[in-house]
Structure formats: C-alpha cells, structure tokens
Amino acid sequence: MRAGILVPPQNFGLVEDGLYRSGQPTELSYPFLEQLQLRTILHLSADEPPAEFASWASEQRIQLVRLGAGADANMLSPWKPVSEEVVVEGLRRVLDPSSYPLLVMCNLGRHRTGTLIGCLRKLQRWSLTSVLEEYRRHACAKSRHLNEQFIELFDIDLVRVPEHSPPQLHLQAERGKPAG
C-alpha cells in the first residue's frame, strides 16, 4: 500500500454523522477505520470475529459488540432474516450516544447490516420505498425478499427511544416513549 492511500472496508457507507456501515474489515482497511475514531463496532454474526480483527479493535480501544451469538445463532444463517431480538438490541446500541462513533457490520455489509439499518430508517420515519431502495443499493443484485419483508413488518414499538438519543438521527418519536 502506498503511503497516504486509505482503503475503506467493502460496502462501506455513511448512515448518519458518526454512524457507519460496512462488511468485515481487513487489515488493509484498518488505517481508514482509525481515521473514524470509532468507539463501538456492532458485529452482527453468529461467528466469532476474526482474531486479527478483534485484536486490532482491542488495540484501538474500540468496544467490539457481537450480536447474534448463542440462541440467536440459528437466526443468522445466510438464508434467514436476522432475529427481531438482534435488531432490537442493535437499535438500542445505535440509539445510545455513548456508542458513537459507531460502525455496524456483518460479513459482507449487505443483509444483516442492511436489515438493521432498514429498521433504523423506519424508526426515523423514512418512507418504505426509500428504506428498501437503500437496502437494495447495498445488497446489489443479492437483495433478499425475506429481509425486505422483515423490514416492512418490523414493529418500531419494540424500540424505546431514549431521552438523550443521538441528535443526528432526527427521530420523530417523543423522547423516552416508544416510537409507534
């Protein structure tokens, strides 16, 4: 790698100020991620993160939160939507300002990440057409009807908006109340 060239992880994107999404970072993308000064990484996978990645996150003092282990592992197969429990817990962390700057990631940054971000967009009161367009843009030709259906049917009343959620999310819900 030439000096000064930064390489983002695959399927990297800005969701909101201080909130990012991507696929599994490689060593080549660590200098790029260091520029973001991340505080938290949500790793949406039933699998352990690669040891090299976990070690790098620890060295950077980034809290690496693995969602989808244990009982939820069966729901994270490549062909099943992410579980409701994983999405609700992920959104709880996304709504916590002490987690920022924050990266949401899964293996390719498409399906699990896209589903969580799609549910956040619903919480932000985006139109379903816009939510699904964003999901499809990151999933490319690999979009999955089951994930789109999960996003469409996700009950935002399951998510409690904290009184002090990140202002850049522009949540329409009354603070401290369910978003429905």
CATH number of the domain that residue 70 is part of? 3.90.190.10
Render pLDDT for 50-98 as a digit per residue (tens, 0 to 9).
Answer: 999 999 999 999 999 999 865 444 444 555 668 889 999 999 999 999 9
What integer pLDDT is reported at residue 78 of this predicted model? 52
> Is 180 domain-assigned?
no
Sheet holding 63-67, edge to edge: 13-16, 19-22, 102-105, 40-44, 63-67
The pLDDT of residue 172: 56
pLDDT at 5: 87
Q: What is the pLDDT of residue 116?
A: 95
The whole domain housing 64 covers: 13-108
Catalytic annotation present for 106: yes
Assigned domain for 55 exists: yes
Which residues of the chain fall short of a pLDDT of 50?
1, 71-76, 173-177, 179-180
Q: Does residue 131 lie in a domain region?
A: no
* SS3 assignment, position 41: strand
Does residue 136 lie within any of the structural domains?
Answer: no
pTM for the structure as a whole:
0.86
Out of 62, 87, 102, 106, the active site residue is 106
Q: Is residue 93 part of a domain?
A: yes
CA triplet 146, 147, 151: central angle to 5 degrees?
Answer: 115
With respect to residue 102, please indicate whether it lies within any of the assigned structural domains.
yes
- Is 151 inside a domain boundary? no
Look up residue 83 and give its two tokens.
């579980």
pLDDT at 174: 45
Tally of domains in the chain: 1
The answer as to whether 91 is a domain residue is yes
Q: Which helix (H) or strand (E) holds 138?
A: helix 128-139
